[in-house]
Chains A and B, each alone.
Chain A
Amino acid sequence: MLEKLIANANQIGKFFRAQGEAEAPAAIADHLRKFWDPVMRADIVAHLERGGAGLDPLARKGVELLRQSKA
C-alpha cells in the first residue's frame, strides 16, 4: 500500500505548499507525525531512503525532515 502513502503525502504537500512554500516541509512533517501511525511513517521514510520515487519535491522535503527527526 506504499502507493497510497506516496499519493497521500503528495496531497498533504500540495495543501501546505499553498500555505507558504518555506514553511511547508515542517508543516508536512508535523502533519505526518500527528496523523500517521509509526509504521506508516517508517514505510514512507524507508521509501525515501530507497530514492523516494513518486514523491513530489515538497513532500520529499517533508519526509526528509521526518527522517531527520527520527534519527
Chain B
Amino acid sequence: MALVEEHDLGTPASKGEAQVRLTIDGRAVTVPEGTSIMRAARDAGIDVPKLCATDSVKAFGSCRMCLVEIEGRAGTPASCTTPVTAGMAVRTQTPLLKELRRGVMELYISDHPLDCLTCAANGDCELQDMAGAVGLREVRYGYAGENHLQDKKDETNPYFTYDPSKCIVCSRCVRACEETQGTFALTIDGRGFASRVSPGMSENFFDSECVSCGACVQACPTATLIEKSVVDIGQPEHSVVTTCAYCGVGCAFKAEMRGDEVVRMVPYKDGKANHGHSCVKGRFAWGYTTHKDRILEPMIRRRVDEPWRTVSWDEAIAYTASEFKRIQAKYGRLSIGGITSSRCTNEETFLVQKLVRAGFGNNNVDTCARVCHAPTGYGLKTTFGTSAGTQDFDSVEHSDVIMIVGANPTDAHPVFASRIKKRAREGAQIIVIDPRRIDLVHSPRVQAAHHLALRPGTNVAVLTSLAHVIVTEGLVDDAFVRERCEADAFAAWAAFVGQPQNSPEAVEKVSGVPAETIRGAARLYATGGNGAIYYGLGVTEHSQGSTAVMAIANLAMATGNIGKPGVGVNPLRGQNNVQGSCDMGSFPHELVGYRHLSDDTARGMFEALWGMRLDPEPGLRIPNMFDAAVDGRFKGIYIQGEDVLQSDPNTKHVTAALAAMECVVVHDLFLTETANFAHVFLPGSTFLEKNGTFTNAERRIQPVRKVISPRNGHEDWEVTQLIARAMGQDWKYTHPLQVMDEIARLTPTFAGVSFAKLDALGSIQWPCNDKAPEGTPVMHAGGFVRGKGKFVITEYVATDEKVGPRFPLLLTTGRVLMQYNVGIQTRRTKNVAWREEDLLEIHPHDAEERGIKDGDLVKLASRKAETSLRAHVTDRVAPGVVYTTFHNPLTQTNVVTTEYSDWATECPEYKVTAVQVSRTNGPTEWQQDYAEIGRRNRHLPEPVAGE
C-alpha cells in the first residue's frame, strides 16, 4: 500500500466553456478558456515550479517561482495568474527562467532554517522540493543577515503548530482561511520584511477566531503550519480513502498511516461532498478511537447495580441470546426490540433491523432519526414522494437565495457552511429563520438579507405566512404548479394560506417577527432567482415538525424551486449516517427503501429472500418502547451505537424505562450513560476499524474503509451477525459487500449500487438503478417521485408547552462546533480545550433581571426537572429565549426537556421547553442522585493481577 497522491494542479479549474488550444514547451494542449498557464502546463504533463499557488485557492502571483516566457510577449509573467490564449506558445524552462527562479529561491532560503533532517515536514515540503527543482546549490547571501530564524513557535492550538521561522509568507494559509473556510481569522501582519502570518489581532491561534478547520495547515507548503501528530510520529507511508464519521456532510478523508498508527486525517480533494475541505472534528478529533476509556472486551452482569464481569465474546453472545429468548418466552414476541445507529454503516444498520424483523420476529426497531429527522421522512414523502433531500451539495453554487431554517451550519455542518459563505461572498442572498443570531446572520463578509428571529415553536406560522405573501402578491410560479403539482390540492392550499390569520401582520403577534421582515423574505425567496432551502432540527424537533417540513416543501413547489441545480429542499442531517439509517429500514413501520410493511409486494420480496413470514404490523417507536417498558410489557433491547439516556427527552422517564427492562444490551465504544442501565456491554468498533458505507445528507453513498483492525476484535456487523446466529438465524456474511448486494436486490432505489461501483465512481447518490446507473444528483427533475407534487395545508397549532409565571423563558437546544451530539466521541478528544461544558446562553436583559453574570452557575428548571450549568450572557439569543447544548452528561440537559412531540412521528419537541433560570451555588438534587447512580452502576471489573 502507498500514499494516495493528489497532484496539485496549481490553480482552480476554470468554469469557461470555450476551449483554447496552445503549446507549452512544444506540447499542444487544449483547455477551457480562463485556465491558467500553470494548470494548462500540468494538463500537458509539465510541472511549473511554484510556491504560492495551490489549486484550492485563487492564484496570487507573489512567489515569482512560476515565471514563464511567452512567444511574442515581453517579460516573464507568472504562469499562475496568466490565463491561456489561443495560439499562445509558452516556454517553462529557459536559461533566463532558470536564473530567475534560482535567485528567488536563494532569497527564500537565506531566511529559512536549514534543519531539513530534523524538520517534521522532511519529505513533504514544497520548499525543499522546489529547491531541488530549480537546482539550488548555494545561497550567496549567507545566513547572517536579518532573519526570522529565532521567531517563537505558537503551540497553543491542540492540533497543529505555527512556526513563523519557517514561514515564506506565501499567503496560502491566509487565502485558504478566506476562500476555502470563510472565517478570515488570518492575515499578514506587518510590511515588507516584517510581514508575518498572524491569527486575528496578533493573538495566538487558540485565542483567535480560528476554528481549526485545518485549511491553513493543508495549504501550507512548509512546516510552518503542521499537525502535531506528524511532529510526534513522522511522515505517513500509506493512506486509505474513507468517510468521516461525524456530521451528515460526509467528508471524504485520506487516513494517512504509518504502520497501523493513524498519523493524520487529510481531506480528500476528490471527495464529492467536501472537495478537499474539512472541519475541526473530522480533520483532528479522531483521538477517541484510541482513547483509554474504550471498552475492548465484552462484559455482562445480572443486575445493573452489580459490578461488570469481563467475559469472552462467546459467553456474551450466548448470554444475550438466552436472555432475549427467555424474555420472549415469558412476556411474548413483542417484548423485545432494537435501536439501529446513525453512527454505524448502512450494512450494520441493515443487519440490526434484519435481526429485529427476522430474528426477534417483530418490528420493534427504530433509530435516532426518531429524535431528529423522522418528520423529514414523513413530510417529504407526503409532498414529494420520497424521504430525502432533493439536491447535491454542489447545487449551492447555483443558488441565488439561500434560506436557512432552524439550522446552524457553521457549527453543525461546517464544511457545507463554508460553501454557503463562499456563495454569499459571490452575491447570493441569505435568509435565516432561527430564534438565535447564528453566524450566517452576521459574520465576516456575510450579512443575511433577512433574519426572522422567531419565537421558538412558531415555525409553521412563519413559514405559512411566507406562503401567504407569495400567494396574495401573485408570486406563485403558475407554470410549474400547473405542470408539476396536484391542482385541487394547490387550490385548497392557496385558499388556506391566503386567509387573514396567515398574514404577516397576524403572524407577527405570535412569532415576534416583524411583518415587513416576513414580507421581505418571502419576496426575496420567490423572486430572487434560484432559491434553495436548507433546514435542520430547528424545524423537525417540534410538535409540528412534520407540518413545518411540509410547509417548506409547499414554498419550494409554489415558487418552482424544485428539480434543477441551485434550488430544492435540503435537510441537513445531524449524524453521519442518519440518511442511511433511515434508508435502511430502521423505522418500525417500513422496510428498506421507505416501503410500508403493509405493502404486500415489498414485504413479499423480503419474505422470499429471507425464507420466512414477516409481521406486517408496525412496531414500537423509541418513545413507545420506553412507555411500554414502564408499563411492563417491553423487557429487552439491543442498542447499537446510541446513547438514548443522554440524547432522548425527559431523562427521568428514560431512566425509569431502562431500569424496568430485564436485558439491556449496549453495543458501543464507551460505557455510555445508557450503559449505566445495561446488563450486557458489547464493545463496538470505530469507523477506522470497519468496512461499509455511509450515506450523507445529499443521498451520497460513500465507502468506509477499514484502516486498522478492530481493537475490540470484531466489526460491528460481525457482532450483530453473532447475535443473529445465536438467535437461530442462518446468516453467512463474510464481508459487508454481501450485505450491500442484498440491499440492492431488495431495494429499487439501490438496485445499481455495489461496492465495486463505489470503488470505481468514488460515491453514488441514490436512486441508482437502470434509469440512473451512476446515481441522481438532483431529484424530481422531470416529475416528482409521487407523480404530482402535493400541497398540504399547514395550519399552525401552538405547542402545549406554555410559558407562565413559574417558567417564563423558552429553552431551545442545539450543538456547538467543537462538540458532537452527546459528546461521546468529542469529549474524548482535545476539542475539550475549547468547550468542555454545556453553557446556557441568556440575553443580558433576562440575566440582569435575575442578577446573573457571565460565568455564574445557574439552575435551569422546567416542569420536568432541574439541572445546573454556567451562564453565558449574550444577545445572540432574544429576550425570553435561552439556549444550551446537550453534549455533557454532567449537565444532562435532557432532564429538563419534555415528551411533547411531533404529531406524526413522535419526534420530541426539544426546541421548546418552558423554563426558569436562577442563580445557584451547586448541582441540583437530580444531578447529585444521577452522579451516584453513575458511580454505582459503572463498576468496572477489577484488573487481573499482573495486567
User: For residue A10, which residue of chain B has the nearest CB?
Assistant: B903
The minimal Cβ–Cβ distance linking B630 to chain A, given in whole angstroms, is 7
Interface positions, chain A 14-70, Cβ under 8 Å from B, are 14-15, 17-20, 31, 33-40
Quick check: B792 and A19 within 8 Å, CB to CB?
A: yes
CA distance A36 to B627 in the complex (A): 13
Number of interface residues of A (CB under 8 A): 21
Taking the complex as formed, is A1 at the interface, i.e. its CB lies under 8 A from any CB of chain B? Answer: yes
CA distance A12 to B546 in the complex (A): 11
Asked whether A15 and B903 contact (CB < 8 A) given A34-B598, A37-B617, A37-B620, the answer is yes
When distances are taken between beta carbons in the complex, the residues of chain A under 8 Å from B598 are 33-34
When distances are taken between beta carbons in the complex, the residues of chain B under 8 Å from A4 are 627, 899
When distances are taken between beta carbons in the complex, the residues of chain B under 8 Å from A14 are 795, 797, 903
Asked whether A1 and B596 contact (CB < 8 A) given A18-B795, A37-B624, A38-B617, the answer is no
When distances are taken between beta carbons in the complex, the residues of chain B under 8 Å from A39 are 334, 628, 633
Contact of A12 among B496, B617, B792, B903 (CB under 8 A): B903
The minimal Cβ–Cβ distance linking A9 to chain B, given in whole angstroms, is 9
Quick check: A1 and B797 within 8 Å, CB to CB?
A: no
Quick check: B589 and A15 within 8 Å, CB to CB?
A: no
Quick check: A15 and B617 within 8 Å, CB to CB?
A: no
Instruction: Encode contact with A along B362-376: 1 for CB under 8 Å, 0 otherwise.
Output: 011000000000000
Interface positions, chain B 882-906, Cβ under 8 Å from A, are 899, 901, 903-906
When distances are taken between beta carbons in the complex, the residues of chain B under 8 Å from A35 are 589, 618, 621, 904-905
CA distance A1 to B629 in the complex (A): 10
Number of interface residues of B (CB under 8 A): 34
User: How many contacting A-B pairs (Cβ < 8 A)?
Assistant: 58
Interface positions, chain B 270-309, Cβ under 8 Å from A, are none
Quick check: B899 and A37 within 8 Å, CB to CB?
A: no
Quick check: A15 and B547 within 8 Å, CB to CB?
A: yes
Instruction: Encode contact with A along B792-821: 1 for CB under 8 Å, 0 otherwise.
Output: 111101001000000000000000000000
Quick check: A8 and B906 within 8 Å, CB to CB?
A: yes
The minimal Cβ–Cβ distance linking B912 to chain A, given in whole angstroms, is 14
CA distance A68 to B630 in the complex (A): 29
User: For residue A11, which residue of chain B has the nearest CB?
Assistant: B903
User: For residue B620, which residue of chain A has the nearest CB?
Assistant: A37
Interface positions, chain B 363-417, Cβ under 8 Å from A, are 363-364
Quick check: B334 and A11 within 8 Å, CB to CB?
A: no
The minimal Cβ–Cβ distance linking A8 to chain B, given in whole angstroms, is 7
CA distance A35 to B618 in the complex (A): 6
When distances are taken between beta carbons in the complex, the residues of chain A under 8 Å from B630 are 1
Instruction: Encode contact with A along B331-346: 1 for CB under 8 Å, 0 otherwise.
Output: 0001000000000000
Instruction: Encode contact with A along B580-622: 1 for CB under 8 Å, 0 otherwise.
Output: 0000000011000000101000000000000000000111110
The minimal Cβ–Cβ distance linking A32 to chain B, given in whole angstroms, is 10
Contact of B793 among A11, A19, A36, A37 (CB under 8 A): A19
Quick check: A18 and B628 within 8 Å, CB to CB?
A: no
Quick check: A18 and B904 within 8 Å, CB to CB?
A: no
When distances are taken between beta carbons in the complex, the residues of chain B under 8 Å from A33 are 598
The minimal Cβ–Cβ distance linking A46 to chain B, given in whole angstroms, is 14
CA distance A9 to B893 in the complex (A): 28
Instruction: Encode contact with A along B86-99: 1 for CB under 8 Å, 0 otherwise.
Output: 00000000000000
The minimal Cβ–Cβ distance linking A59 to chain B, given in whole angstroms, is 11
CA distance A14 to B793 in the complex (A): 11
User: For residue A14, which residue of chain B has the nearest CB?
Assistant: B797
When distances are taken between beta carbons in the complex, the residues of chain B under 8 Å from A18 are 496, 793-795
Quick check: B904 and A37 within 8 Å, CB to CB?
A: no
When distances are taken between beta carbons in the complex, the residues of chain A under 8 Å from B543 are 11
User: For residue B633, which residue of chain A has the nearest CB?
Assistant: A39
When distances are taken between beta carbons in the complex, the residues of chain B under 8 Å from A11 are 543, 797, 903
Asked whether A36 and B618 contact (CB < 8 A) given A1-B627, A4-B627, A18-B793, the answer is yes
User: For residue B794, which residue of chain A has the nearest CB?
Assistant: A18
Taking the complex as formed, is B631 at the interface, i.e. its CB lies under 8 A from any CB of chain A? Answer: yes
CA distance A31 to B543 in the complex (A): 16
When distances are taken between beta carbons in the complex, the residues of chain A under 8 Å from B633 are 39
CA distance A33 to B901 in the complex (A): 19
The minimal Cβ–Cβ distance linking B934 to chain A, given in whole angstroms, is 27
Interface positions, chain B 476-514, Cβ under 8 Å from A, are 492, 496
CA distance A41 to B898 in the complex (A): 23
CA distance A8 to B546 in the complex (A): 14
CA distance A35 to B378 in the complex (A): 11
CA distance A15 to B547 in the complex (A): 8
Instruction: Encode contact with A along B191-205: 1 for CB under 8 Å, 0 otherwise.
Output: 000000000000000
Quick check: A37 and B627 within 8 Å, CB to CB?
A: no
When distances are taken between beta carbons in the complex, the residues of chain A under 8 Å from B620 are 37, 40
The minimal Cβ–Cβ distance linking A64 to chain B, given in whole angstroms, is 19
Quick check: A15 and B904 within 8 Å, CB to CB?
A: yes
CA distance A7 to B627 in the complex (A): 14
CA distance A39 to B543 in the complex (A): 23
User: For residue A40, which residue of chain B has the nearest CB?
Assistant: B624
When distances are taken between beta carbons in the complex, the residues of chain B under 8 Å from A15 are 547, 795, 797, 903-904
When distances are taken between beta carbons in the complex, the residues of chain B under 8 Å from A20 are 492
CA distance A35 to B382 in the complex (A): 14
CA distance A38 to B547 in the complex (A): 25
CA distance A33 to B596 in the complex (A): 11
CA distance A35 to B621 in the complex (A): 9
CA distance A18 to B627 in the complex (A): 29
Contact of A8 among B363, B618, B631, B903 (CB under 8 A): B903
Quick check: A1 and B618 within 8 Å, CB to CB?
A: no
Contact of A34 among B618, B627, B793, B797 (CB under 8 A): B618
CA distance A18 to B628 in the complex (A): 31
CA distance A10 to B64 in the complex (A): 72
Interface positions, chain B 753-806, Cβ under 8 Å from A, are 792-795, 797, 800
Specify which of A4, A11, A31 lies most central, judged by the most chain B CB atoms within 10 Å of its CB: A11
When distances are taken between beta carbons in the complex, the residues of chain A under 8 Å from B906 are 8
The minimal Cβ–Cβ distance linking A29 to chain B, given in whole angstroms, is 14
Asked whether A12 and B619 contact (CB < 8 A) given A1-B627, A18-B793, A35-B589, the answer is no
User: For residue B362, which residue of chain A has the nearest CB?
Assistant: A37
User: For residue B489, which residue of chain A has the nearest CB?
Assistant: A19
When distances are taken between beta carbons in the complex, the residues of chain B under 8 Å from A8 are 901, 903, 906
CA distance A1 to B628 in the complex (A): 8
The minimal Cβ–Cβ distance linking B631 to chain A, given in whole angstroms, is 6
The 5 A-B residue pairs whose C-beta atoms are closest, nearest first, are A11-B903, A18-B795, A1-B627, A18-B793, A38-B617
A-B contact pairs, 25 of them (CB 8 A): A1-B631, A4-B627, A4-B899, A7-B800, A8-B901, A11-B797, A12-B904, A15-B547, A17-B795, A18-B496, A18-B793, A18-B795, A34-B589, A34-B618, A35-B589, A35-B621, A35-B904, A37-B334, A37-B363, A37-B364, A37-B588, A37-B619, A39-B334, A39-B628, A40-B624
* Chain A interface (Cβ < 8 Å from any Cβ of B): 1, 4, 7-8, 11-12, 14-15, 17-20, 31, 33-40
Assuming A18-B793, A19-B793, A37-B617, what are 17 further A-B pairs, CB within 8 angstroms? A1-B627, A1-B630, A4-B899, A8-B906, A11-B543, A15-B904, A18-B496, A19-B792, A34-B589, A35-B589, A35-B905, A36-B618, A37-B588, A38-B617, A39-B628, A39-B633, A40-B620
